Amino acid sequence: MLTTIWPIFALIWLGFGLARWRIPSAEFWPAAERLNYFVLFPALLVSSLADAPVRDPEVLRLGGAAVATIMIASLALGLLRRVRPMPARRYGPVVQGVIRFNTYLALSLIATFVGPEGLEKAALYLALAVPLVNLLSILALSDAGASRAPRALIRTVLTNPLILACLAGFALAMTNVGLPLGLDRLAALLGQGSLPLGLLCIGAALRPRSLRADAPALIATSAARLVLMPLLGVAVAHMFGLTGTEAFIIIVFCCVPTAPTAYVLTQQMKGDGQLMAGIVTLQTMAAAASIPIMLAILTT
C-alpha cells in the first residue's frame, strides 16, 4: 500500500517545494491551476464519463451511495451546529472540511489501484457529488454573505466547468453518442496531464502558517474528514450492497482530504479564510499517513 501511494504524495510535496523555491515562477501556479480547472480536468471528466456504464445497476447504486454519504454527513453537522452554535463564516469552512473531497488525489488513487474502469465509475460519482457539495457549501456559508448567496448559487451551477463537464459527459453516456471524429482521443490526451499537474498544484497551495489558527477546530474537522468519513463510507457502501470497485471508490472519496478550491469559495462568500486554509493544509499533510492506514484497514 505504501509503495503504491507514496509517488502520489511525492508529487504533492514536489509542488510544495517548487512553489517555495519559485520554480518556475510565482505566477506559474495560479495559471496552472486555472488551466487544469477550466481545460484539462473537464476534458478528463468528459472522456471518462462519455463511455461510462451509466445504466449498470452497480453504478447506479454507487451514485445513490455518493449522495447518501454526503447528505448524512451534512445532516450530522447541522445537528452539531444546533448543539454548539457557530456563525456561518466558521460553519461554512467546517462543512467544506468534512463533505468536500480532493478530486485530483481521489482519482489518482483510483487510477493507480483500479485503472480506467475505475475512472469511468468515479466520473459518475463526481457527476452527482460535485454539484451537491457545491450547493451545500454555498448554503453553509450563506449567512456570511446572504445577499450574494442566490447569485453565487446560480453562478456556481452555470459557470462551474466541472459541473458542466459532468453534465456533458453524462449526456454523452446516456445517449450512447460518445465522442466522434477523434474528439475522444483529444479529450484523453488533455486529461492525461490533469492529475499530475493537479497534484503539483495541491502542494503549491499548502499554507503551513495557517496552522496557527484555531487548533481545536482544525484537529476536530480533520479527524471528522480523515477518520469518521471513511467509516461512514464503509457503512453506506454496505447499506447499498456495494462491493469491489464501487465500494473502493466510495471509500477513497471519503478518505481523501478536502478540496483546495474550498478556500476560494470561502473567500468569495466572506467566510473565515484563515480557518479554511488551515483545514486544507492540515488535512493534506495528515492524509499522507491516514490514507494508507484507512485503506489498509477498510479494504481488506
Q: What ranges do the domains of the chain cover?
A: 2-7+26-298
* Ramachandran angles phi, psi of 274, nearest 5°: -65, -45
Contacts of 264 (CB under 8 A, 6+ apart): none
Q: Distance between CA 285 and CA 60 in Å, rounded?
A: 33
Q: Give Cα 83 to chain centroid, integer Å.
A: 28
Is the domain defined by 2-7+26-298 classed in CATH 1.20.1530.20? yes
Q: Give 74-141 as a DSSP string.
A: HHHHHHHHHHS---HHHHHHHHHHHH---HHHHHHHHHHHT-HHHHHHHHHHHHHHHHHHHHHHHHHH
Whether the CB-CB separation of 73 and 233 falls below 8 Å is answered with no
Please choose, from the candidates 15, 14, 4, the residue with its C-alpha nearest in 3D space to the C-alpha of residue 108: 4
Instruction: Please state, in angstroms and as integers, the Cα–Cα distance from residue 212 to each residue in 6, 171, 198, 225, 278, following that order.
Output: 27, 45, 26, 19, 8
Q: How confident is the model at residue 152 (pLDDT cuts 50, 70, 90)?
A: low
Q: How confident is the model at residue 5 (pLDDT cuts 50, 70, 90)?
A: confident
Q: Which residue has the higher pLDDT, 153 or 227?
A: 227
Instruction: Please state, in angstroms and as integers, the Cα–Cα distance from residue 119 to each residue in 103, 222, 239, following that order.
Output: 11, 26, 23
User: Which of the given ranges, 80-94, 118-132, 171-185, 197-211, has the highest pLDDT on average?
Assistant: 80-94
pLDDT of residue 268: 74
Answer whether 0.75 is exceeded by the pTM. yes
Angle (CA) 82-86-90 rounded to 5° is: 135
115 burial level (CB within 10 Å; 0-12, 13-18, 19+): exposed
Cell of 133: 457539495
Kindly report which listed range (240-244, 267-271, 285-289) carries the lowest average pLDDT score: 267-271
Whether the CB-CB separation of 225 and 73 falls below 8 Å is answered with no
Q: Which residue has the higher pLDDT, 166 or 242?
A: 242
Q: Distance between CA 110 and CA 76 in Å, rounded?
A: 27
pLDDT of residue 147: 46
